[in-house]
C-alpha cells in the first residue's frame, strides 16, 4: 500500500465497494462486498477496515533476519501479523486451553461446590437478629400454609411440604411443635425415642389389614424408611451397650465386699512335715556338690628351660620398657608393669582364697587354725548360712594406724622377728580378706615407710649391722608392696620430699634424708626421662650439692654428706648416664678444699677449674701437709652415714673423704665416657690429681692409675673429637603457589564451583527460578486467554441479541409493511370502487 | 603539730607525777622534781628570771650520766619533761624577740641578749650531743630532742630573720643537727650497708616530705664530709656512710621544673631563699656530696647497695654524671666479689647510653665477668639482661660473640640447674642473632679434618683472640642428657632446626631449685610410678660379697 493514510483509507473503502461506483461488475467474487440488503455486512466491513488502520492494536514480533516460511500452505513472513495470528490460534497449547476452558464452562454450576440457600445469608443489609426473625417467620408461614384440598399427600408428609425449608441448628431440626421432642436430649432415655420411629412393616401390615392396596412407594419414601431404620437400630445398640456398662460398674462396686467375705473364710492348712536328719544331710550334700570344684587339668610343671626362657623374656620386656621410659617415649600408663615384679611373694594364695579354699596354706596358718577352733566354729556357722565356707583366719596381729602405734607394738618384739611380724600384718590384712582392709593397708604402707626412715635416723651405736639388716628386710617388704600400694607410697614420699626440702633450706639435713635417697634409688626406676618421684628427688640432691658448693665456709661433714649424695646420684645414673653438672662442680670443690696446699696449684692451669681462686685461698679445712697416713690400696673406702653428722674434723676422716672423692672421680669418668664434653669435665680433675700425686704417691697408689686413665682418655678424646654437625636437617621445601589447572574445563558450563554441595544447591535454585517464571507465564497466558474468550463470548452474545432483535424488527416491519400494502391496496380498491 | 601534742601530754601527766614526787627525788638526788622544773620554767616565762636556765641546762649532765649506763625510766621521763619545758621557754623567748639584738638596745640589754643566745646555743648543742651519743637503749628522750631541734629550726626561721620580708632558713642549726645525725653512734650497720638507727629512721619521715630539709642537707655537708674523711677511722666512716645512705636512698622531691619545686612542701612552712630552687646549685652540691661519700672506704655490702640505686636515683641528679666514672671503674675492677662489677654494669651502661661515656676494653671486661659464680649469684638475671643488650648489635665481630657463647657453654657444664636454664636459651638467642656463629654447632668442613684439635683457649682474656669460632659446643651436646628432663629437652633445640625466632629471657632468668621443685609438686599422680626391677641384696655395704646398692657406705 502506498500513499498517505487518507489515500489508503479511500482506497480501502473503494475496494470494499462502500464509496464510489457501486455497480461495477465483480471480477472475482471472493472479496466480500457489503450487499445492499444486509445492513450488518456494511458495518462488519467498516469494522474490519477500522481495525486494519489502527496500528496500535497490531502485535509485531520483530525478527533479526527476514525469513519466510510456509505455513498453512502459504508463504508467511516470520514475525508478521499473519504468522503470529496463525501460530497463536493454532498452537496446541491454545487448543488445550480452549478445551480446558470449555470443559470448565460446561461443568460450571453443575458439579462440585455448594450452593448456600439459606435465607439472607449473603444479604449484607440484614443484621443477625433480623435474619433470624425472617427465617422464623418463613418457617411458620410454610408450616401454617393450608394444604391444597386436593392434595393426595397424607398429613405425615408435612416435613416435605416446607419445600425443603426447616430451621436447623448443627444439622438438627428445630421445631416448636412437639414438646416431647424438645425434651429428648435432656432425658437421654431410649424409651421415648422408640415412640418416634415407626416400624414400617407394621405400618404396611396395618394398611393391608385395612384392605387398602399397597401403594407404590416413592423413592423418597424408600430412602426415608431406610434412614429411619438404621437410626432405630443404632439407637437400640447404644441402649444395650449402656446397660452392659452399668452392670459392669455395679459388679465392680460389689467386688470389695465379696473379697472381704472371702477373706474371712478359713483356708484348709497345708501341713509341712519337718525334714528328717537324713533328708537334711542329703540336702546339704547336694548343696555342697554345687559348689564342688570342677576337675580341671592341672598346670603342667614347666621344665627348667621353659622357666628360664620365661624369666628371660620377662627381663627382656622390663629392659625394653625401661629403655622406652629412659628415652621419654613412654607416656601411656603401664598397667601390666606392676605384675611383673613379684609373682612369688604371695604366690597363688590370692586366687585360692577368693574361692574360699585354702589349698596351699602354710604351716603357720594350719597351726593358727588348729589353735582357734572355737573361732572357726563361729565363722563356720555364718559361712554355711551363705552356703560358703570362708577361710577366716584369726587376726592375731593388729594393724597400726599411726607410726607411734607401730613403734609401740614393735617394742615387745625382738629385732630379728620384726620383719616376720610385719609380713604377718601384711598377710592378715590383705584387701581381699575383709572390707576396709585396703584402706587399712594404705595407711600401713605409709606407716611402714615412715618407720623405715625413722629406723634409719636412729643412732647406730647399738648394733650397726643388725639394724641395717632389719632395715633392708623392711625395705624388701616395702618394695614388694610398692606395686600394689603404689599411689599411697608415692603420696607419702612426696610429703617426705617437701619436708626434706624445708630441711635443706634451713641447712639442717638429718641422716634419714640421706638414707631416703638410697631408698628411692632402690625402689624406683631412676633411669626414666621423667619420674614422678625420682625427678624431684634428684633436684633435692642437687640442691644439697649446690648449697655446699656455694656456701662460704664449708665444713668437713658437709663435704662428707655431699660426697654421699654425689655417689648415690651417680648410682641413679648408672643406666641412663645422664649428666649432672652439680656433681662435677661439687667434687672439684671438695677436693680443692681437702687437698693440702691447694694454693700451690700452678696459676696457669687453674683456668679450667670451675671454681675460682678464692676457694683455693680460703680453704680452712685442707689436710695439712705434715699429716702422714697409712698406705691405702683399696679403690673405695667404706664410710658410715652417721659419721657424716658427727662433725668429725680429724685428719684421718678428711683423708678418707679424699679417698672417697678419688673413687667418685674414677666412677664419673667411666660413667660419662660417652659425653663429648668429657675433656672439659675431667680436665680440672687432672689438674687436682697432678697436685695430689705430689703428696700421696705412696699412700694412695690409685691416684697414679686414675690420673693415667684420665690423661689417656683426654689425649684420646682430643685427637678423636670432631666439631659438631648437629644441624643436618632435611631441607624444607618452599611453599609454591603454581596455578592449578582444571583438567576437563568446559567454557559452556555455567559454574565451576569446587564445592559440590554448593554447586548442586545453586543448580536447584536456578531450576526453581526458571520454573517459577514459566509457571507465572503460564498463568498469565491462561488468564489472558480466558479473558479473551469471555470477551469473545460476550460479543457473540450481544451479536446474537442484536441479530435477534433486528430479525424481530424486520419481521414486524415486513408484516406491517405487508399489512400496510394490503391496507393501501384495499384503500385504493375502495376508492376505485367508489 | 607534734610538739604541742607532747605539751598536752606533759600537762596531763604532770598532775600524776606530782603525787610521786617523793620517790622521784629520792632515787635521783641531783634531779629536780617536776614541780621545781615547772616553777623554774614558769618564772622564766612570766617573770624573766633567765638565770633559771642555768640549773635547768645543768640537769642534762645528770641525766646523761644516769642513762648512759643503765635503763632508767624515771630519769628519762624527767628528761623528757625538762626538754619540753625548756622548749617552751625558748619558744617564748623567740616569740618575744629576746634572742635578737636590736640596734636600739642599750649595752646591758645587748649583754642579756647575748647571754640568752649563748644559753640557747648551748641548749641546741646539748640536744645534738644527746642525738649523737649512744645510750644503753633507744630512749624516747633522744627522739624528743630531735623533734625539738627540728621545731626550733622552724621557730628560728620565723623569728630570727633580719627583716620581715626576708627569706631565711636557719642553716647553722640544721647543719649541726645533720652532723649529729650522721655521727650518731646509735644503730648498727645492716647487712645491706644501711643503718637501722632509730633516730635516722625518725628523721627520714620528715626528710622525705620536705624539700628544704633535703636541699640544705645536701648543701651543708660537703666540707664536713671531706674533713671527716681525713680525721675519722674507716669504721666510723662506714657508719657515717650507712646513715648517709639510709637517708639518701629514698626518692628526693627534686624535679627539673622550678615551678613544681617551689610548690613542694617545706618544713619551715614558708618560702625558701632563692638558692634552694636553683637547679645547678643543687646538682653541683649533690654531686660533690656523693663523690665525697663514695670516696669513703666502703664495705662490700655498701658497694652493692649503693650500686643498686646508683643508676636510677643518683646519676640523674648529678650535674656532671661523668664524674662518677672513676668510682664505677673502680667498682668494675674490684675482683674480690664478682657481684660488684655486675652491679656497676648497670650504671656504666646508663652513663654510656645517656652521657656518651667511652669505656675502653668494655667487652674484654664483660667477658672477664663470666665466672662460675656468675651463674649462681642473685644478680645473674640483672647481668644477663644487660649482657643481652650489649650483645644485641649485629656489628659485633663473630669472634667476640663466639667467645661469649663458648665461655657460657663451658661454664654451664659445671653450673647449677638454674644457671643451665639461663645459658641454653641465651646461647640460642645469640646464635640466632649472629648466624655466623652457627658454625659452632654445625661445622662440616672441620669435621672432615683428620688432625682437628679444639683451638679454643679458655685462659685467653681478650674475647677477640680466643678462637672460639673454630671450636664447637660439645658442652651443649653433653647437656642434652642433663638429669632434669625439661632442661635436657631444652638443650635438644641445638639439634633441631632453628625455627623459633628467639626465647624470651625473662622466662628463664629466675629459676631455682625451689621453683623447679614447686612445679613438680603440682603434678598429679596418673599412672603407677615406675619401679626398679633390678634386685639388690643389700642396701648398704655388708660383709658378704653380694650385690650392694650404696657401695662403700654403711648406715
Chain A residues within an 8 Å CB radius of B415: 581, 585
Chain B residues within an 8 Å CB radius of A470: none
The stretch B247-261 carries a mean pLDDT of 73
Output the pLDDT for position A465.
Answer: 55
Q: Is B472 on the interface with A (CB under 8 A)?
A: yes
Pick the more confident residue, B447 or A797.
A797
DSSP letter for each residue of B222-242 = HHHHHHHHHHS-HHHHHHHHH
Residue-level length of chain B: 555
Output the pLDDT for position A764.
Answer: 93
| Residues 6+ positions from B476 with CB-CB distance below 8 Å | B409, B412, B424, B427, B441, B491, B494
Reported as half-sphere exposure (CB side, CA atoms, 13 A), residue A171 has a value of: 0
Among partner residues A530, A614, A677, which is closest to B478 by beta-carbon distance? A677
Please provide the distance, in angstroms rounded to a whole number, between the alpha carbons at the two ends of chain A.
67
**Among A173-182, A281-290, B191-200, whose mean pLDDT is lowest?**
A173-182
Q: Is B447 on the interface with A (CB under 8 A)?
A: yes
Residue of B nearest to A336 (CA): B528
SS3 A579: strand
- Of the pLDDT bands very low, low, confident and very high (cuts 50, 70, 90), residue A394 is very low
| Res. B228: pLDDT tops 50 | yes
Share of chain B above pLDDT 90, in %: 5
- Cross-chain Cβ contact B528/A334 below 8 Å: yes
User: What's A727's DSSP letter?
Assistant: -
Chain B residues within an 8 Å CB radius of A586: none
Q: Give dist(CA B275, CA B294) in Å, integer.
A: 25
Chain B residues within an 8 Å CB radius of A642: 555
B173 to chain A, closest Cα gap in Å: 47
- Cross-chain Cβ contact B485/A540 below 8 Å: no
The winner for highest mean pLDDT among A59-73, A349-363, A808-822, B294-308 is: A808-822
| Residues 6+ positions from B337 with CB-CB distance below 8 Å | B300, B303
Q: Give dist(CA A625, CA A622) in Å, integer.
A: 9
| Residues 6+ positions from B67 with CB-CB distance below 8 Å | B75, B76, B79, B135, B136, B139, B141
Output the pLDDT for position B6.
Answer: 38
Express each pLDDT in A527-576 by its tens digit. 888 888 899 999 999 988 888 887 777 788 888 889 999 999 998 888 88
The closest of A709, A708, A700 to A633, measured between CA atoms, is A700
Chain B residues within an 8 Å CB radius of A550: 373, 376
Output the pLDDT for position A790.
Answer: 92
Among partner residues B420, B517, B526, which is closest to A539 by beta-carbon distance? B517
CATH number of B1-160: 1.20.58
Output the pLDDT for position B544.
Answer: 67
Decide if B407 contacts B461 (C-beta within 8 A): no
- Of the pLDDT bands very low, low, confident and very high (cuts 50, 70, 90), residue A176 is low
Decide if A672 contacts A685 (C-beta within 8 A): no
CA distances from A50 to A9, A12, A46, A172, A793 (A): 9, 10, 6, 64, 21
Among partner residues B414, B441, B554, which is closest to A724 by beta-carbon distance? B441
Express each pLDDT in A438-496 by its tens digit. 888 888 888 888 888 888 887 664 445 566 778 888 888 888 888 888 888 888 888 88
- Cross-chain Cβ contact A521/B526 below 8 Å: no
- Cross-chain Cβ contact A550/B376 below 8 Å: yes
Mutation target to probe the B interface, by most B beta carbons within 10 A, among A488, A608, A723, A732 is A723
B225 to chain A, closest Cα gap in Å: 34
Output the pLDDT for position A248.
Answer: 93
| Res. B207: pLDDT tops 80 | no
Angle among Cα A325, A331, A335 to the nearest 5 degrees reads 85
- Cross-chain Cβ contact A723/B447 below 8 Å: yes
> What does R_g of chain A's alpha carbons equal in angstroms?
64
Q: Give dist(CA B555, CA A588) in Å, integer.
A: 25
In DSSP terms, B540 is beta-bridged to: B550
Output the pLDDT for position A616.
Answer: 63
**Among A415-419, A657-661, B489-493, B544-548, whose mean pLDDT is lowest?**
B544-548
**Among A266-270, A389-393, B268-272, B403-407, whose mean pLDDT is lowest?**
A389-393
| Residues 6+ positions from A227 with CB-CB distance below 8 Å | none
The total of other beta-carbon atoms located within 10 Å of residue A679's CB is 19
Residue of A nearest to B473 (CA): A724
SS3 A68: strand
Output the pLDDT for position A376.
Answer: 40
Among partner residues A334, A675, A726, which is closest to B495 by beta-carbon distance? A726
| Residues 6+ positions from A470 with CB-CB distance below 8 Å | A415, A418, A419, A455
Express each pLDDT in A715-738 by its tens digit. 888 888 888 888 887 777 777 777
- Cross-chain Cβ contact B452/A334 below 8 Å: no
| Res. A234: pLDDT tops 90 | yes
Residue of A nearest to B444 (CA): A725
| Res. B262: pLDDT tops 80 | no
Q: Give dist(CA A89, CA A73) in Å, integer.
A: 16
B465 to chain A, closest Cα gap in Å: 16
CA distances from A784 to A708, A795, B68 (A): 119, 16, 130
**Among A545-554, A606-615, A696-705, B365-374, whose mean pLDDT is lowest?**
A606-615
Cell 664447637 found at: B472
Q: Is B488 on the interface with A (CB under 8 A)?
A: yes
Q: Among residues 346-385 of chain B, which lie with CB inside 8 Å of chain A?
A: 371-373, 376
- B467: left (phi > 0), else alpha (psi -120 to 50), else beta? left
Pick the more confident residue, A35 or A799.
A799
For chains A and B, CB pairs below 8 A equal: 268
Output the pLDDT for position A640.
Answer: 81
- Of the pLDDT bands very low, low, confident and very high (cuts 50, 70, 90), residue A367 is very low
- Cross-chain Cβ contact B447/A725 below 8 Å: yes
Q: Give dist(CA B460, CA A174) in Å, integer.
A: 129
- Cross-chain Cβ contact A539/B520 below 8 Å: yes
Q: Respond yes or no on whether ipTM tops 0.85.
A: no
| Residues 6+ positions from A157 with CB-CB distance below 8 Å | none
Pick the more confident residue, B256 or B343.
B343
Chain A residues within an 8 Å CB radius of B474: 676-677, 679-680, 721, 724
| Res. A768: pLDDT tops 90 | yes
C-alpha cell at A198: 415407626
* Stretch (H or E) spanning B317: none
Mutation target to probe the A interface, by most A beta carbons within 10 A, among B531, B536, B542 is B531
Cell 626561721 found at: B157
**Among A668-682, B110-124, B156-170, B487-501, whose mean pLDDT is lowest?**
B156-170
Q: Is B163 on the interface with A (CB under 8 A)?
A: no
Chain B residues within an 8 Å CB radius of A322: 530, 533
Residue of B nearest to A634 (CA): B552
DSSP strand pairing (A172-173 vs A639-640): unpaired
User: What's B274's DSSP letter?
Assistant: G
Q: Give dist(CA A534, CA A522) in Å, integer.
A: 11
Chain B residues within an 8 Å CB radius of A546: 376, 416, 513
Among partner residues A337, A522, A675, which is closest to B549 by beta-carbon distance? A522
Among partner residues A483, A567, A663, which is closest to B531 by beta-carbon distance? A483
- Of the pLDDT bands very low, low, confident and very high (cuts 50, 70, 90), residue A250 is very high
Express each pLDDT in A41-58 by its tens digit. 788 888 888 888 887 766
Q: What is the mean pLDDT of chain B?
A: 77
| Res. B84: pLDDT tops 50 | yes
- Cross-chain Cβ contact A724/B443 below 8 Å: yes
Q: Is B548 exposed, middle or buried (0-12, 13-18, 19+ CB in 10 A)?
A: middle
DSSP strand pairing (B553-554 vs A639-640): parallel
Chain A residues within an 8 Å CB radius of B412: 581
Give the residue extent of every domain in chain B. 1-160, 185-359, 380-520
Q: Among residues 401-430 of chain B, which lie with CB inside 8 Å of chain A?
A: 410-417, 420
Decide if A65 contacts A77 (C-beta within 8 A): no
The stretch A94-120 carries a mean pLDDT of 78
- Of the pLDDT bands very low, low, confident and very high (cuts 50, 70, 90), residue A761 is very high
C-alpha cell at A490: 608415692
| Res. A181: pLDDT tops 50 | no
Residue of A nearest to B482 (CA): A579
Angle among Cα B438, B442, B447 to the nearest 5 degrees reads 135
| Res. A365: pLDDT tops 60 | no
Phi, psi of B519, rounded to the nearest 5 degrees:
-70, -25
Decide if A657 contacts A640 (C-beta within 8 A): no
Alpha helix locations (H) across A400-527?
Answer: 403-411, 418-428, 437-457, 464-481, 486-505, 511-523
- Cross-chain Cβ contact A543/B513 below 8 Å: yes
**Among A248-257, A494-503, B231-240, whose mean pLDDT is lowest?**
B231-240
Mutation target to probe the B interface, by most B beta carbons within 10 A, among A618, A724, A730, A733 is A724
Output the pLDDT for position A803.
Answer: 94
Q: Give dist(CA A515, CA A568) in Å, integer.
A: 10
Q: What is the mean pLDDT of chain A?
A: 76
The closest of B203, B240, B204, B201 to B224, measured between CA atoms, is B240
Q: Give dist(CA A557, CA A560) in Å, integer.
A: 5
Output the pLDDT for position A182.
Answer: 44
Cell 687432672 found at: A686
C-alpha cell at A523: 625402689
- Of the pLDDT bands very low, low, confident and very high (cuts 50, 70, 90), residue A800 is very high
- Cross-chain Cβ contact A724/B542 below 8 Å: no
Q: Is B478 on the interface with A (CB under 8 A)?
A: yes
Angle among Cα B500, B506, B509 to the nearest 5 degrees reads 110
DSSP letter for each residue of B512-555 = -HHHHHHHHHT----SPPPBP----SEEE--SSSS-EEETTEE-
| Res. B379: pLDDT tops 70 | yes
Distance from CA of residue A558 to its chain's centroid?
61
Express each pLDDT in B540-549 by its tens digit. 877 666 777 8
Phi, psi of A452, rounded to the nearest 5 degrees:
-60, -45
Express each pLDDT in B139-186 by its tens digit. 777 778 778 877 877 777 777 766 666 677 777 777 777 777 777 776
| Res. A798: pLDDT tops 90 | yes
Q: Give dist(CA B289, CA A550) in Å, integer.
A: 37
Q: Is B483 on the interface with A (CB under 8 A)?
A: yes
The stretch A704-717 carries a mean pLDDT of 88
| Res. A336: pLDDT tops 50 | no
Residue of B nearest to A574 (CA): B549
- Of the pLDDT bands very low, low, confident and very high (cuts 50, 70, 90), residue A236 is very high
Q: Give dist(CA A777, CA A771) in Å, integer.
A: 10
The closest of B234, B387, B233 to B302, measured between CA atoms, is B234
C-alpha cell at B280: 645547678
Express each pLDDT in B30-73 by its tens digit. 566 777 777 777 777 777 677 777 777 777 777 777 776 677 77
Output the pLDDT for position A335.
Answer: 37
SS3 A75: strand
Cell 576437563 found at: A744
Q: Give dist(CA A651, CA A625) in Å, integer.
A: 11
CA distances from B161 to A34, A600, B212, B276 (A): 145, 72, 16, 17
Output the pLDDT for position A215.
Answer: 67
Mutation target to probe the A interface, by most A beta carbons within 10 A, among B466, B528, B549 is B528
- Cross-chain Cβ contact A580/B483 below 8 Å: yes
User: What's A749's DSSP letter?
Assistant: S
Amino acid at each position: 500500500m502506498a500513499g498517505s493514510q487518507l489515500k489508503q483509507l479511500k482506497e480501502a473503502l473503494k475496494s470494499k465497494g462502500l464509496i464510489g461506483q457501486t455497480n461495477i461488475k465483480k471480477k472475482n467474487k471472493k472479496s466480500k462486498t457489503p450487499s445492499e440488503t444486509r445492513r450488518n455486512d456494511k458495518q462488519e466491513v467498516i469494522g474490519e477496515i477500522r481495525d486494519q488502520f489502527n496500528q496500535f492494536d497490531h502485535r509485531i514480533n520483530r525478527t533479526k533476519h527476514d525469513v519466510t516460511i510456509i505455513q498453512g500452505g502459504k508463504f508467511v513472513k516470520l514475525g508478521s501479523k499473519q504468522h503470529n495470528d496463525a501460530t497463536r490460534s493454532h498452537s496446541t497449547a491454545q487448543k488445550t486451553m480452549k478445551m480446558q476452558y470449555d470443559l470448565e464452562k460446561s461443568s460450571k454450576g453443575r458439579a462440585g461446590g455448594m450452593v448456600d440457600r439459606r435465607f439472607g445469608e449473603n444479604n449484607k443489609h440484614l443484621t443477625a437478629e433480623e435474619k433470624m426473625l425472617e427465617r422464623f417467620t418463613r418457617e411458620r408461614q410454610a408450616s401454617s400454609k393450608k394444604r391444597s384440598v386436593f392434595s393426595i399427600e397424607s398429613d405425615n408428609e408435612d416435613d416435605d411440604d416446607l419445600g425443603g425449608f426447616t430451621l436447623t441448628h448443627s444439622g438438627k431440626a428445630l421445631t416448636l411443635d412437639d414438646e416431647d421432642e424438645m425434651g429428648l436430649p435432656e432425658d437421654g432415655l431410649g424409651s421415648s425415642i422408640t415412640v418416634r420411629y415407626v416400624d414400617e412393616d407394621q405400618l404396611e401390615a396395618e394398611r393391608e389389614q385395612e384392605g387398602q392396596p399397597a401403594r407404590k412407594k416413592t423413592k423418597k419414601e424408600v430412602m426415608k424408611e431406610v434412614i429411619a431404620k438404621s437410626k432405630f437400630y443404632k439407637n437400640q445398640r447404644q441402649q444395650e451397650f449402656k446397660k452392659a456398662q452399668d452392670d459392669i460398674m455395679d459388679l465392680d462396686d460389689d467386688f470389695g465386699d465379696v473379697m472381704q467375705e472371702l477373706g474371712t473364710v478359713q483356708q484348709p492348712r497345708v501341713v509341712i512335715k519337718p525334714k528328717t536328719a537324713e533328708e537334711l544331710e542329703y540336702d546339704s550334700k547336694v548343696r555342697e556338690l554345687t559348689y564342688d570344684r570342677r576337675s580341671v587339668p592341672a598346670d603342667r610343671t614347666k621344665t627348667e628351660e621353659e622357666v628360664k626362657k620365661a624369666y628371660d623374656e620377662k627381663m627382656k620386656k622390663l629392659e625394653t620398657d625401661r629403655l622406652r621410659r629412659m628415652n621419654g617415649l613412654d607416656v601411656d600408663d603401664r598397667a601390666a608393669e606392676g605384675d611383673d615384679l613379684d609373682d612369688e611373694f604371695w604366690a597363688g594364695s590370692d586366687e585360692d582364697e577368693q574361692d574360699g579354699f585354702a589349698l596351699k596354706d602354710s604351716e603357720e596358718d594350719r597351726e593358727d587354725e588348729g589353735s582357734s577352733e572355737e573361732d572357726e566354729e563361729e565363722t563356720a556357722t555364718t559361712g554355711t548360712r551363705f552356703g560358703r565356707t570362708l577361710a577366716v583366719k584369726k587376726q592375731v596381729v593388729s594393724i597400726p594406724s599411726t607410726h607411734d602405734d607401730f613403734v609401740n607394738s614393735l617394742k615387745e618384739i625382738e629385732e630379728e622377728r620384726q620383719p616376720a611380724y610385719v609380713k604377718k600384718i601384711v598377710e592378715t590384712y590383705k584387701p581381699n580378706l575383709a572390707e576396709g582392709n585396703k584402706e587399712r593397708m594404705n595407711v600401713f604402707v605409709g606407716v611402714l615407710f615412715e618407720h623405715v626412715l625413722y629406723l634409719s635416723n636412729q643412732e647406730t651405736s647399738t648394733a650397726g649391722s643388725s639394724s641395717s639388716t632389719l632395715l633392708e628386710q623392711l625395705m624388701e617388704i616395702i618394695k614388694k608392696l610398692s606395686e600394689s600400694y603404689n599411689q599411697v607410697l608415692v603420696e607419702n614420699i612426696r610429703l617426705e620430699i617437701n619436708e626434706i626440702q624445708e630441711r635443706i633450706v634451713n641447712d639442717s639435713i638429718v641422716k634419714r634424708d640421706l638414707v631416703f635417697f638410697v631408698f628411692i634409688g632402690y625402689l624406683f626406676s631412676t633411669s626414666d626421662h621423667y619420674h614422678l618421684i625420682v625427678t624431684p628427688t634428684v633436684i633435692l640432691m642437687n640442691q644439697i650439692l649446690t648449697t655446699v658448693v656455694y656456701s662460704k665456709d664449708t665444713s668437713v661433714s658437709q663435704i662428707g654428706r655431699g660426697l654421699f649424695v654425689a655417689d648415690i646420684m651417680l648410682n641413679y645414673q648408672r643406666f641412663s648416664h645422664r649428666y649432672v653438672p652439680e656433681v662435677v662442680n661439687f667434687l672439684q670443690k671438695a677436693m680443692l678444699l681437702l687437698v693440702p696446699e691447694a694454693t700451690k696449684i700452678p696459676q696457669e692451669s687453674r683456668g679450667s677449674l670451675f671454681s675460682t681462686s678464692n676457694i683455693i685461698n680460703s680453704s680452712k679445712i685442707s689436710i695439712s701437709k705434715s699429716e702422714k697416713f697409712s698406705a691405702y690400696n683399696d679403690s673405695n673406702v667404706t664410710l658410715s652415714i652417721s659419721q657424716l653428722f658427727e662433725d668429725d674434723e680429724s685428719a684421718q676422716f678428711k683423708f678418707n673423704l679424699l679417698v672417697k672423692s678419688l673413687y667418685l672421680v674414677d666412677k664419673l669418668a667411666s660413667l660419662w665416657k660417652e659425653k663429648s664434653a668429657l675433656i672439659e669435665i675431667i680436665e680440672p680433675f687432672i689438674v687436682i690429681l697432678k697436685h695430689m700425686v705430689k703428696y700421696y704417691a705412696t699412700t694412695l697408689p690409685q691416684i697414679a692409675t686414675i690420673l693415667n686413665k684420665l690423661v689417656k682418655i683426654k689425649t684420646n678424646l682430643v685427637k678423636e673429637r670432631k666439631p659438631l654437625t648437629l644441624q643436618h636437617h632435611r631441607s624444607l621445601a618452599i611453599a609454591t603457589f603454581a596455578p592449578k589447572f582444571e583438567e576437563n574445563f568446559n567454557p559452556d558450563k555455567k559454574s565451576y564451583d569446587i564445592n559440590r554441595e554448593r554447586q548442586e544447591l545453586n543448580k536447584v535454585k536456578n531450576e526453581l527460578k526458571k520454573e517459577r517464571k514459566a509457571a507465572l507465564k503460564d498463568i498469565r497466558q491462561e488468564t489472558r486467554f480466558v479473558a479473551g474468550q469471555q470477551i469473545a463470548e460476550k460479543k457473540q452474545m450481544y451479536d446474537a441479541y442484536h441479530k435477534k432483535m433486528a430479525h424481530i424488527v424486520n419481521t414486524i416491519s415486513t408484516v406491517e409493511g405487508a399489512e400496510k400494502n394490503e391496507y393501501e391496496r384495499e384503500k385504493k380498491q375502495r376508492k376505485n370502487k367508489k | 603539730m607534734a610538739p604541742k601534742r607532747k605539751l598536752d601530754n606533759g600537762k596531763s601527766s604532770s598532775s600524776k607525777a606530782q603525787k610521786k614526787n617523793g620517790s622521784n627525788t629520792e632515787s635521783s638526788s641531783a634531779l629536780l622534781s617536776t614541780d621545781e622544773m615547772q616553777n623554774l620554767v614558769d618564772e622564766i616565762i612570766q617573770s624573766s628570771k633567765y638565770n633559771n636556765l642555768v640549773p635547768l641546762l645543768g640537769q642534762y649532765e645528770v641525766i646523761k650520766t644516769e642513762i648512759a649506763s643503765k635503763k632508767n625510766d624515771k630519769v628519762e621521763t624527767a628528761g623528757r619533761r625538762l626538754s619540753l619545758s625548756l622548749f617552751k621557754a625558748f619558744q617564748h623567748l623567740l616569740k618575744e624577740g629576746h634572742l635578737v639584738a636590736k640596734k636600739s638596745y642599750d649595752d646591758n640589754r645587748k649583754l642579756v641578749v647575748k647571754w640568752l643566745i649563748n644559753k640557747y646555743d648551748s641548749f641546741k648543742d646539748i640536744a645534738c650531743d644527746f642525738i649523737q651519743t649512744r645510750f644503753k637503749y633507744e630512749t624516747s628522750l633522744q627522739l624528743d630532742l630531735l623533734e625539738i631541734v627540728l621545731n626550733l629550726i622552724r621557730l628560728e626561721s620565723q623569728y630570727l630573720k633580719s627583716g620581715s620580708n626576708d627569706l631565711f632558713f636557719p642553716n647553722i642549726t640544721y647543719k649541726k643537727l645533720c652532723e649529729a645525725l650522721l655521727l650518731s653512734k646509735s644503730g648498727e650497720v645492716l647487712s645491706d650497708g644501711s643503718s637501722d638507727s632509730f633516730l635516722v629512721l625518725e628523721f627520714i619521715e620528715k626528710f622525705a616530705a620536705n624539700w628544704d630539709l633535703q636541699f640544705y642537707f645536701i648543701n651543708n655537708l660537703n666540707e664536713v664530709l671531706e674533713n671527716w674523711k681525713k680525721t675519722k677511722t674507716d669504721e666510723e666512716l662506714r657508719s657515717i656512710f650507712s646513715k648517709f645512705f639510709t637517708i639518701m636512698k629514698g626518692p628526693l622531691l627534686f624535679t627539673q621544673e622550678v615551678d613544681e619545686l617551689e610548690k613542694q612542701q617545706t618544713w619551715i612552712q614558708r618560702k625558701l631563699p632563692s638558692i634552694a630552687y636553683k637547679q645547678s646549685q643543687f646538682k653541683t652540691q649533690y654531686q660533690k656530696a656523693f663523690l665525697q661519700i663514695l670516696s669513703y672506704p666502703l664495705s662490700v655490702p655498701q658497694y652493692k647497695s649503693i650500686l643498686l640505686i646508683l643508676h636510677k636515683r643518683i646519676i640523674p641528679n648529678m650535674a656532671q654524671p661523668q664524674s662518677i666514672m672513676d668510682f664505677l671503674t673502680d667498682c668494675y675492677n674490684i675482683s674480690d666479689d664478682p657481684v660488684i662489677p655486675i652491679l656497676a654494669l648497670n650504671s656504666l651502661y646508663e652513663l654510656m647510653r645517656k652521657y656518651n661515656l667511652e669505656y675502653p676494653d668494655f667487652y674484654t671486661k664483660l667477658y672477664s665477668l663470666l665466672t662460675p659464680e656468675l651463674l649462681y649469684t642473685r644478680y645473674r638475671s640483672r647481668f644477663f639482661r644487660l649482657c643481652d643488650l650489649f650483645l644485641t648489635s649485629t656489628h659485633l665481630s663473630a669472634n667476640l660473640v663466639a667467645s661469649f657463647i663458648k665461655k657460657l657453654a663451658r661454664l654451664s657444664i659445671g653450673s647449677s640447674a638454674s644457671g643451665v636454664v639461663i645459658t641454653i636459651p641465651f646461647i640460642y638467642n645469640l646464635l640466632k642473632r649472629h648466624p655466623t656463629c652457627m658454625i659452632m654447632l654445625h661445622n662440616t668442613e672441620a669435621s672432615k679434618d683428620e688432625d682437628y684439635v679444639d683451638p679454643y683457649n679458655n685462659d685467653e682474656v681478650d674475647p677477640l683472640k680466643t678462637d672460639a669460632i673454630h671450636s664447637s659446643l660439645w658442652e651443649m651436646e653433653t647437656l642434652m642428657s642433663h638429669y632434669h628432663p625439661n632442661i635436657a629437652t631444652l638443650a635438644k633445640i641445638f639439634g633441631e632446626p632453628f625455627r623459633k625466632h628467639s626465647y624470651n629471657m625473662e622466662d628463664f632468668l629466675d629459676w631455682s631449685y625451689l621453683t623447679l621443685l614447686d612445679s613438680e609438686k603440682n603434678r598429679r599422680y596418673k599412672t603407677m610410678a615406675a619401679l626398679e626391677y633390678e634386685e639388690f641384696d643389700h642396701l648398704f655395704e655388708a660383709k658378704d660379697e653380694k650385690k650392694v646398692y650404696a657401695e662403700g657406705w654403711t648406715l
